[in-house]
Every structure is written in structure tokens, then in C-alpha cells.
Amino acid sequence: MRTLKLVLAYDGTQYVGWQRQENGVSVQQVIEEAFAPLAGGVMPTVAGASRTDAGVHALAQVASVSTEIELPPVAVQRALNVRLPADIRVLAVEDALPGFHARAFATSKAYRYRIATAPVLSPFDRWFVWHHPIPKDVAAMQAAAVALVGRHDFASFQAAGSAVRATVRTIHRLDVREIGGEIVVEVDGDGFLRHMVRAIVGTLADVGAGLRPSASMAATLEARDRRAAGMTAPAAGLTLMAVRY
């Protein structure tokens, strides 16, 4: 038995997220089905570092799988890409140390969120941005973001109804930049609650639109109540950029 580490990129538009679900096709399911012919018809379990939600994308999702496949890593990569749809690609395959688990061994993850502010959205961007053409005070958004950096209880930014009880996480970096007709939010942390990044973006968008002051972010954290934060920004604008070990 060997453990393989995979680096994957995918357009999440057509999927119910990374994790297998009964209500639709997931990225994990498609990859496991592609693995089955290589493993003598046995479908292995492929563990992803991030359980990206429906419609969320990845440029560098990391996954691990234990298998008895004897092919060299480059041959596994080639065989998987032949079987996978065009919106999922295996960027790299390598042998990992025994027992390696993509999610359990991860020390930090980085995400990027794109908000398109131009009056007219390019049709080529429609699946990868949040089109929100409302004037925004980027400086105010940047000031609000500062309060979220560090180790905090992010219960206010967790999806309502989540069963997760430990809601303390560390954000190492949270940058807000304006690039052309877009506002780009980049966040790097040791882990994220369900919908956490999208709730942060939605709240920052409120700040940028003048709907809440930038100084209110500390009180939003302290409330530990999802109702204290802003909307959950749409999934399409979010991309997993990196997983570190």
C-alpha cells in the first residue's frame, strides 16, 4: 500500500462541492471514479485538504489517497486526466510519506475572492466573480480587515446551523486590493469554518458600501453571532489558491 499526494485544479461551477453528497455530483466522487479503473475496479477514498462548497473553485487543492496502484506518479497523473472531465485537472502526483492525510496534515490554506465592480460584467468572468457594481470605499474595507487578523473566535462568520463547536481560528493575512475593475480579497489562515471566507467578504462589502463602519468589525467578532455579520458572498467568487504543510 502506498500513499499518493495529488495537486488538483477545478472549476467548481457544476459540482455540489468537494465532498460526496446525495444531492448531486461532487469533485471527490468524480476523481474517485476516475481512480477505480487504475485500482482494479476498487474505488479508493480520496481525501481533500479543503471541503470546498458548491460552486467554489480551486487552483491548488491537495488530496491524498492510499492505493496499491503500482504505476509511477506521472503515469497516474496522465491516466487520471484522460478519464476526468475538462473542468477538473490533476496538476501533479507524487509519493507521500505513509499515513499522509491531505486535510489532517495541512498547516494553513490560502483563498482568493474576486468582486467585479464594473457596471458590465464580462461573460468570461461570470462563473468566477461576484458581480457587485456598487461603489466601494476600499480604504475602509482595508481598515476593517485589520481587526480580523490574528487568533479570534469567528463564530459570527460561520454558516448558521453548523455543528462545529470549536470556532477559534487564526488568520495570518487578510489583504484587500483594487485591481482594475475588481476588488480582490486574499486570506491566509490555519483553517476556516464553513462559509467563513464568504461571510467575511460579505461583511467587508457592507463596509465598503457604507452600510457599516470599519470600526464595527471588532464588535462583530465579539458578538459570536452569525446575525451580527454581513451576508454570505456568492460561491462563484471564491478560489482555493494554496494548501501548506
| Helical (H) or strand (E) element with 220 | helix 217-223
Nearest to 183 by CA among 111, 110, 117: 117
- Report how far apart, in Å, the C-alpha atoms of 172 and of each of 79, 109, 134, 148, 223 are: 37, 10, 29, 9, 21
Listed in sequence order, the residues at least 6 apart from 113 whose beta carbon sits closer than 8 Å to its beta carbon are: 130, 184, 185, 186, 187, 197, 198, 201, 233, 237, 238, 239
Strands 88-96 and 130-131: unpaired
Q: Is 11 a catalytic residue?
A: no
Nearest to 188 by CA among 178, 200, 179: 200
- Report how far apart, in Å, the C-alpha atoms of 102 and of each of 7, 8, 28, 92, 111 are: 10, 12, 13, 14, 17
**CA–CA separation, 56 and 47 (whole Å):** 17
Catalytic residue among 53, 87, 95, 225: 53
- Report how far apart, in Å, the C-alpha atoms of 59 and of each of 12, 49, 98, 110 are: 11, 13, 25, 11
Listed in sequence order, the residues at least 6 apart from 97 whose beta carbon sits closer than 8 Å to its beta carbon are: 3
Residues annotated catalytic, as ranges: 53
